Structure formats: structure tokens, C-alpha cells
Structure 1
Amino acid sequence: MSGPVVHAVHIFLVTLIIVNVTAVVLQSVPSLESTWWWLFIAIEVLSGVIFTAEYAARFWCAPEHAPWRHLKPWHARLKWALHPQSVIDLLAILPFYLAYWDIESLRVFLLLRLFRFFKLARYSPGLTSLIEAIYSERRALIACGVILLGTVLIAASAMNLVEREAQPDKFGTIPEAMYWAILTLTTVGYGDVVPITPLGRAIAGITAVAGLVMLALPVGIIASAFSREIHRHDFIITWSMVVRVPLFEDLSAEEIASVMHRLRSQSCTPGEIIVHKGELAHSMYLIASGEVEVLLPGEAVRLGPGDFFGEIGVLKRRRRGVTVKAVTTCKLLVLDAEDLHQLIDANPTMAQHIDEVIEARKDRREGV
């Protein structure tokens, strides 16, 4: 869904989250809490009611979410409830119901109000892209963690070996030396534990240099993945846009998700040639916004948002039969030929459906 009303609701919820988190932070100041206690309570009550209503509405409407429409309503709602973002939403409203009970052990639920900050991820494409980037590189990041752990163990063991006689209280055991190793590798270095022997200082220098590499690895991995996600999501790729394409409309939810993951974005300026007649067909294009013009013999056909072109040349592995240029500023979704053929090879039903669509559209879209 989109539109001014939805946009206004999103702005309101984002503002409420920011106000709520700010109130939690300021409430920790005794003077402010005693003076503005009534305002903090009002913000908490308003937030609790609205966040509860939001959670209930999303829970109830889960069967209407495109990837889960084929599931039974209870199954779709269960999948929604177990989604990480839904768990955050639940943790964000629990304090409203539990934190003010007259049970001292439940006071810790007050801290859960800070989980409301993470609700911003639902309304921020940038945060969503960062989360997706981290998830997509989870295996590489886990490998970095294993390497870091191994380096910590080696550095701690070496320092324990050369410093335990000089400083038994600080390097007497490997677990104690691991504290120093972690601080050194992360380049924090509090200075409360330092080697005093020449060999120990040499090991410390090597460990510090290794720490630079340890930090650079995950930072580089996340930065690269984040850049790819931002490029892919510099405009919204909606589920409905993909399923509107006849080539994909009958695919399963898993197949649609696979198609969306392989799409990349391309921006075009007015007058820019997107497809040249006679060139090898290397991609098919879906129009997200703007208009293009297909230059057919004797006429020009305009295509707009939701339309697509270039698929027949890719699937038939032949040269383009027409030229296509941008009429206005356009944003396109591009599916490369290699990716399309890989999807076909992995999904026989997709290949059969594509053949049927091509036959049905051959006369109307010949050459494009």
C-alpha cells in the first residue's frame, strides 16, 4: 500500500517512536522524572495503546501479505508473529503491560521500551538494507568471528607464556590474558594491562597490527554488502510489480522471491538509448517509473510503469530487433540474461510457463 494517508501514518509512527525513546532516556534523570512524571506517563500510555493497535492490525492482516496468501490464515499469522521484526514489535509493547506491575523482578521490562527504537527499521529503507546486508553476509561474518576468536586465543596463549612470570596477576592464566588480547585486537587498549618484557611488547605490536586486519575484514564485508543493497533498493521493488509481469505471474512465492533477489536497478535520462537494434540481448527490463519508447518500423510504442521489454531476445538468445529509448527519467529493474537462464534451469515449471507466454505474445511483441 502507498499514498498520502499511509505516508502520513508512517511519519506519525516514526515520530512517536522517537518521542518515546527520548522519553525513556530523559526519564532516567531523577529531576526530570519528578517534575515531568505526568508527561512521561501520558507518552507511555499513548504509545502502548497505539503500538498495540498497530501490532494487532498487522497480525490480523498477515494473510493478505503477498508471500503468505497461499497459506491458511492461522499459518500466515504464525509466520508473521515469528518474523524478527514482529518479535521486536512484541517486545516493544510488553513493558506497557508488565513493567508497572507491583513485582520488583519485572522492573527490568522497563528496559524493553528501548526496543521501540528498532521499530524504526520497519519504516527506514536504509536500516532495512543494512539488516539485509548483514544477513546476506552472515556466513562471511561468522568466519570473521572464528578467525578473531582464534587470534585471541593465540595472542593470549603467547602473552601468558612470556609474561606470566613477570605479571602473574595479569597474565597468569590464558583466560586473564584473553582480556588483554581482546582489548588490543579491537584497538581499544585501556592501558590497565600492558606487557613489560621485550618479547611481550613484540607480541603486543604484532597483535595490534593483526587487530587492524580483524576490524577491516567485517567492516569491508558489511560496507560492500550494504552498498549492493542500497543500489538494489534505491527505489522500492514491490511484490506486485514482479507478479504483474506475465512471465512471472504464476510463479510460487519462493520463485518470485528468487527473481526479486536477482534484480538490479538502472536509472536512465530522457533520450538515453536503453536497447540498440542489432545488439546482443543481454538483459530484460521492467519499468518501475517513467516512460520508454519502442521504435518499431513506421511507429513508436510507449511503455510505462509495470511494462517490460527485452525478454524475447534474451530467451531466444538472439540480437535485438528494435531500439528502445527513454522518453522521461526512468528507473528500471534489470534481470540479466545469465540470471534469467539460471532461474529457468532451476525451475522447470518457470521454463514451461515462459514458453507459453512467449507463444501467446509472439505476434504482438515480435522482435522486442
Structure 2
Amino acid sequence: MKKAKEMSLLKDLEKVLKTMGKKYPGNFVLGNAKSDGLPVVYCSEGFFEITGFRRSQVIGKRCSCSFLYGALTKEESKQKVEDALIYQQETTVNICLYTKYGNPFWCQVEIIPITNENQEVVLFLVSFYQNMPKDQNIESEITEHDPDILSSPTNESNFQKRKQRGRQVLFNLSKQFKSSRKKMSQLDKLQEAVSGQQTVPEYKVEVQKKGRGIILHYGFVKVLWDWLIMLCTFYIAIMVPFNAAFIVGEFVRTTIYADVAVEIIFGIDIILNFRTTYVSNTGQVIYDGKLIALNYIKQWFLMDLLAAIPFDLLYAFQVETGTLIPLLKVARLLRLIRLFQKMDRYSQYGSVVIILLLSMFTLTAHWLACVWYSIGKFELQKHPTSWRIGWLNELADTLNRPIMNRTHLPDMWSCYLTALYFTCSSLTTVGFGNVSANTNAEKIFSVCAMLIGAMMYALVFGNVTAIVQRAYARRATFHMKTNDLKEFYHTYNIPKPLKHRIQDYFQSMWTMNNGINLNELFYEFPDEMKGEISMHLHKEILSLPLFKCATHGCMKAISLQIRRTFCAPGEYLIHRGDAISYLYFILSGSLEILKDDKVVALLGKGDLFGIDLQFEDPVASSSCSVKSLTYCELQCINLMGFISVLSLYPSVAEKIANAVQQELTFNLKDCEIDLETENNFDNTRPSIIDGDDRNNCNSSAIVPRYLLPGSG
């Protein structure tokens, strides 16, 4: 019962967040319920729109946001907010708050406690709905006090870009628990309608959920199954044309069991494909059953379904079908297209590639042999009994088995082997002449076979050489690294959970970059071209306002110091005490900043974190740990290289260094901050240092200081 309730809470989180998004579009803060002082660990950019306070000025303050209180703020409203935080209750309060510039506005504040999987409150979601007349807008106040903010080309009108960026963390939190919501029972609907309360959401690190019955696409069992499917595909590629051309009478009964077994295997394969993981375009292994099914239906389902239609059951029940069913079964050859697609998976094995290509050459000869026999048989049926020109007549004379009444042909295997001999000699050479074309239809077919042979000869054997010389090199690297990982697991007894994480990361990264080593690729390019390519690859971080004053040459030099990295859910990017060698910019996903196992801040798409630039001592140790909540992609600037580049451009070095201090969402070097006491109700707005006032303050005030657990 308790487990069912927990699942209900998880499913309702998305609904709560959507409701909050409609009522309070991006105007919220998240407070850490586990730390003393209930500090703000995340602040949306929408909050800046209505209050004028930047994120760096808010993080670390008490989540009651008492710094917004003023002379008109009622004590009763203050007490309601504090009671909601102390007793961890969901509360809505209408309160008068003040902007950064001292102007009052009425606001509806809603406080929602967020629980984890153990039903412990770990966060407070404090959302703000501004009840301000339309003619009063904070944009006019910001323009008056800081006109460069709204005029900056990096800002969209009405702060839409800031709103979207501010909702990124909540979006990623909701994705962890997003699932197909089943229909609620009538009792649940009635209870929700009567109570009108939202279910308390949960907060935890994203867990890679493997649904029941999900099969890993790289698992040992799946690999064996794929080989079985390959053998079955070759079986139908051989038998379907052979049956259509040669099999008549009762002979089909001897292969009926094998044919039905293949149809059953293809049917089972369709079911398994609905439950087999795959790697998305972003390099993420997809475990969700719904996404797997949709992906399979879009790609291979129809083709597999055509190959699995049980035509042979008609033969099993001795239903007379004539030549129609054998012709319909030719559609099963479409499954070879999927086999070609899977051949790339086995291209790391040179011997397998050669065997597959030779098999395709042999299949072509087999198909042409079936067509060659059908042409000879058609010529016999078309002409009178006195006609003795076709290749089947010559074969009958050679074997001394004259054809009687157009029905007593040479035995089937003699006909097939002779036809196969002719097609193979035509495909590989120009024929020896002992089996030759006599009729017009046979001559036309022979010409086509020779042309196909020339193309197949060049295609197959040329590809073997090309694969060995070019394409096989990259796959060989993948195979070598895979073997190295296996040897590493075995030699050092790597535990199974860690082994799966390593393999998941390796395959995801290989899928994203296809094994391309940018350093080796850039080696032969001139420096000018290297810079242009690197600027294109890292255009996201280079578009930040802190690089606005940099020249084109400076930007190219900085871009060469940037690299991309990838984190899976639950991975630590930085541990406390580690040397900070990079400046990080989040392209996608969410991370949390931890200190003494307590959440200090949450970072999402578009956030910049690391340390400020110190030219004399560029490397410092981190006072916090950084852990990924979801799959994250980041761009990292090497600090030593960054500083060395700026030393070559002294005219912009100081400006960029100051801009880094202002743009940092979180400074990992120093995350202490003096929190307001729990019961501090000041009727005046406390002063928070703004970027314009930093010149009058010491250097420690330039970057906001964050919460130290245990400080109040």
C-alpha cells in the first residue's frame, strides 16, 4: 500500500509542476529544508523579472525571501510564511513585498514542501505570483536604474529567454518521474476534487529505470539471438526463391516444419524488439518501453511484420495455393535490408565482413540461377514439342534424359546445379560456353548477368579492400578499446554496477562522437582553420556576455582551450577538495552542489560555475562537490590555457576576468554566506551588493558567498 502511494506521488509530480508553471511562470526559488537557515539553492531568472535581484544575490539567503520585506509588509503575513517553513506545510499567502529598487508590489506566495523517496521534506518550492497593475512593470524600474540590462542584445524582450532558462531545473526534475499517467479511479478523482490539494512532489537523483522485461541491446543473450535471426534471414533468402522456381508437388512438405519454425522465430523477434533498448541520437541508452515501441514502429516494424506472415501454415493444413503463395513469400527478402543495416555492427570483425560480403555474392548467384531455370522452363512451355533449342534441352541431351511431353525434365538438383554453375561463371568471368544462351530471352538474361557480375565483382571485392584499409581502422579501435575494457574488468575485479556504468558511458560517448579524436583530426589543419572549427563546435559557451569584449582572434584562441564532457546520472564531476582546473558551462541536464552531503545549489542549462580568474594563482581547490542529477553535457574551459590566452590580450584580459566574476552562477572556491537568522523580521529591506556597487567593496564581495552547513 505504501509503495503504491509512493508511485502515485511520483506520477503526480509532473501535474504539480505544470500547474505551478501556469500560475507562476518561472518565478520561484528552491530552499534546502535539510540545512540550517533554509537557504535558497536555486533561483529562477523569472524571479529577477519581478524583484530585480540577480540569482547570485539570492542564493544562500533564507528561502522565506525576507529581504523583500518592507514597511508595508504585515507581521501576520510574515508569520504565516515562517510557520509554513517551520511546520513544513503547504501554504498560500498574499503579502506586500518590495523590489530591489524599493517599490512595493502585492504578491501571492505559495510554499510547497518537496519530499524524497523516504517521504522526508528536502526542498521548499516557493513560487511568486505578482498581483501588479499592467501599467506598473519592473522592466521600467530596471531600465531606469540599469539601462544596459534590457538593451543588451543577449536579452530577449520581456525576459522570455530568462524565463525558459529558469524553468530548466524543474523540467529536468519532472523528467525523472515522468511516466504515462494511468486513469485515476473514481474515488481518487472525487477525493482530489473535494480536497483541492496537490500531491506533495518528490526530489531525488534520477535513477536509470529498467522496465520489467527490458532487454539490453548489447547483452550476451541478445547478441546470440541476433545471430540466430541472421541465420534465419539467410535461410529465407535461399529457400524462398528456390521454392518459387523449383519446388512442385509434394516436395514442399519436407521443408514445411523448418519454414514454420522460421516464421515463429520472426514472430518472437518482433515481440523482443518491442522490449529491446536502443541508443538515441544523443548517445543515451533508452530503457523506456513506450519510447522503444515508438522507435521500433517508426523504423522496422512493418518490414518485420511482412516477413513474419505465416504463409506456410496453409501448406501445413494442406490448402491448395498454386504459385501465388511462393510469389508472396518473396516479400520476405525485404528483411535483408535490415541485415545490411546490422552489418555495420559487425564491421569491427574483418573475417565476418568478408564472409558476409561473399555470402551476398553467393546469394546473388543463387537468385540468378533460380531466374535462369524459370526462363528455361517458360521457354519449354511456350513452344511446341518439336522445339529443342533451350538450355534445358541441351542439358537433357547431355544427361541422356530426353524431355517427354514437357513434364519429364531432368532431375531438380541437376537443373539447379547447372543453373548455378552458369550464373557463377557469368558473374566472375565471361562464361566458358559449355552452358550457353540460345534463345532471345536467355541471351538477354545472360547480358544482364554479365553486367551484374562486373558490378558485383567490383563492389564486393573492392569493398573488402576498402574496409580493411579505411573503415575497419575505426572499428578496430572500438574493438580494441572494448577488449581493453573487458581485460580491465577481469584483471582488477571491477564490481558489476561499476562495470555497467563504465560500459554505458563508453558506448554513449562513442555513439556521440563516432570515435573521432578531435586532437588527431585537428593536427593536420592550419591554426586559422582549427580556430574556426573550434569556435563552431563550442559556440554555446562563446556566446556568453563575458566574451562580448573579446576580439575575433582572442575568441579563436580561447575556443582551442574548450572541450566537451558528458556525465551520467549520479556521477560526481568534482569532489570536495579537488583542484579546479576548468570553468564549466552546462549545455543540458541538471547538477547539484553538495557540501557535507547537503544541497547547496542546483544548476541547470545555461549556468556557468567554477572559480573566478586569478592570474597569479589560477588553480584552487573546490570547497564543494558537484554531482549530476540527469544526463548532462558540459563545455569546459581549461583555466591554465584560458589565463595564458588572456595574457596575450592584455587589453581585454581584465574585462573578461571581471565579467567571469559577475557571470558565475556558483563559485566553487568559496561557498560560505552569512544567513539571516530564522526569526529575523526586519521592516526595512536589507542591502544586497549589486554588480554596480562592487567597486566599493572588497574582493570577497564580488562573488556571492554560499551556505556552509551548520551556519545560521
**Fold shared, TM-score > 0.5 on shorter chain:** no
- Which TM-score bucket, shorter chain as reference? 0.3 to 0.5
Larger Rg over CA atoms: 2
> TM-score normalised to the size of structure 2?
0.22
Q: Say which structure is richer in helix.
A: 1
